[in-house]
Amino acid sequence: MSEILPIRKIIHVDMDAFYASVEQMDNPELKGKPIAVGGSEKRGVVSAASYEARKFGVKSAMSGIQAIRNCPELIFVKPRFDRYHEISKKIRAIFYDYTDFVEPLSLDEAYLDVTINKKGNPSASLIAEEIRERILKEVGLTASAGISINKFIAKVASDYNKPNGQKTITPEEVNEFLEKLDIRKFYGVGKVTAEKMYQLGIFTGKDLKSKSKAYLEDHFGKSGTYYYDVVRGIHNSEVKPNRVRKSLAAEHTFNENLSSEIFMLERLDQITNEVSKRLKKSKVAGKTVTLKIKYSDFTLQTRSKTLQYFIADKDLIFDVAKALLYQEKLKNSVRLLGISVNNLNNEEKKFKEMPKSVSVQLSFEFKE
């Protein structure tokens, strides 16, 4: 007997190759050409790739060197995040014309709950179509959308008819859709979990559905319950309009690898300044400072320190980051440094910045 699922109307809107599309819109000479935002022929990492570049296998997080090997005609463009933020605000303004239940995931995607909406339109599919048409007309960019009864299915559906398309999974279609779905498409199934599932003969949603809750809990612990529910269309996560930010960060990839800690401190000072500005702009502070180090061989290392009090002051964050840098000897020359501050006090809705006149001496005990 099939379970009765709560009927919500959720839309996942995902802009098509957002950063690259903005660059092509602002510079008509780039239209129809393979472009990469971020990176270069010699260094750096691609942040986004146009659809023309994707045909050659260029994708985000790929090194610029590999990208140019895949596509010798590739054009590298410097990212303009202020412009992306500006465009993103215009797109979100359109969302709010339909519902206040908007949960942004990033600059280029968001969930909308239109079960009850400002237009009184009972059709989520028609609302999604109207939103996409308005984004194209008012902003000049294309968007894709997925529509279904929960966030998980809507997000998966939004990938089906990209670019500039949409797909609706009706309540009646949910079971068949999930049974046919590749196991790697399910939330929480990464490489390691997928390999484990393959060994257990689980390749699709149908295979997953055939396993009992006890069996899945035995092999996957608490996640087993989640897998048991989600393949049955049970995913009750609400669209959260006021999504609480968990961390604030900034990082920088260098034009040349750094081996001198003195030069690294100069860069850390600049990065810390940016993090502090973002914290103060958001009116939050944090207790945990994490230093991110990416070496010239692309290996990644993080070092963290949790304090007894909240900080947002640039000098205090820098002192912690500096101590983390000197915590142990660097393994190689460094191509990227980043600083993040988490354990934020935004849940308490309180922000009391330390008086500038207060001098704090930080002491650290690090294990070798």
Q: Note the pLDDT of residue 356.
A: 38
Tokens of 40: 């270069």
Contacts 24+ apart (CB under 8 A), 258-262: 258/333, 258/334, 258/335, 259/330, 259/333, 259/334, 261/325, 261/326, 261/330
Q: Note the pLDDT of residue 347.
A: 58
- pLDDT tens readout for residues 236-261: 889 988 766 778 888 888 888 898 88
C-alpha 78/C-alpha 72 separation (Å) is 18
Q: Are 161 and 186 in contact (CB under 8 A)?
A: no
Give the CA distances from residue 102 to residues 40, 69, 107, 116, 196, in Å, rounded to whole numbers and listed in that order: 35, 40, 13, 12, 35
Q: What is the mean pLDDT of residues 301-317?
A: 92
- pLDDT tens readout for residues 62-109: 889 999 999 999 999 999 999 999 999 999 999 999 999 999 999 999
C-alpha 351/C-alpha 277 separation (Å) is 14
Q: Are 13 and 22 in contact (CB under 8 A)?
A: no
Q: Note the pLDDT of residue 61.
A: 85
C-alpha 321/C-alpha 212 separation (Å) is 48
CA dihedral 121, 165, 26, 111 (to 10 degrees): 50
Tokens of 331: 């393994």
Strand 102-106, strand 109-113: pairing = antiparallel
The helix/strand/coil state of 111 is strand
Look at the chain and count its residues. Answer: 368
Tokens of 254: 């260098």
Residue 47 class from Cβ within 10 Å (0-12 exposed, 13-18 middle, 19+ buried)?
middle
Q: Are 139 and 91 in contact (CB under 8 A)?
A: yes
Tokens of 277: 């500005």
Tokens of 93: 């303004």
Q: Are 24 and 140 in contact (CB under 8 A)?
A: no
- 109, 217, 256, 347: which is the annotated catalytic residue? 109
Say yes or no to pLDDT of 327 above 80. yes
Which among 203, 199, 191 is positioned nearest to 219, based on CA atoms? 199
- pLDDT tens readout for residues 171-213: 999 999 999 999 999 988 888 999 999 999 999 999 999 999 9
Q: Is 274 a catalytic residue?
A: no
Q: What is the mean pLDDT of residues 345-354?
A: 52
Task: Output the pTM of the full model.
Answer: 0.72
C-alpha 194/C-alpha 189 separation (Å) is 6
Tell me the domains of the chain and their CATH numbers: 10-16+82-174 (3.30.70.270), 21-80 (3.40.1170.60), 181-230 (1.10.150.20), 247-344 (3.30.1490.100)
C-alpha 101/C-alpha 242 separation (Å) is 9
Please report, as a single letter, which amino acid is at residue 251. E
Tokens of 302: 């993080």
> What is the b/e burial string over 159-191, where b = at least 16 CB atoms within 10 angstroms of the residue's CB?
eeebeebbbbbeeeebbebbeebebeebeebee
C-alpha 297/C-alpha 256 separation (Å) is 13
Positive or negative, the Cα torsion across 249, 255, 259, 262? negative
Q: Are 7 and 171 in contact (CB under 8 A)?
A: yes
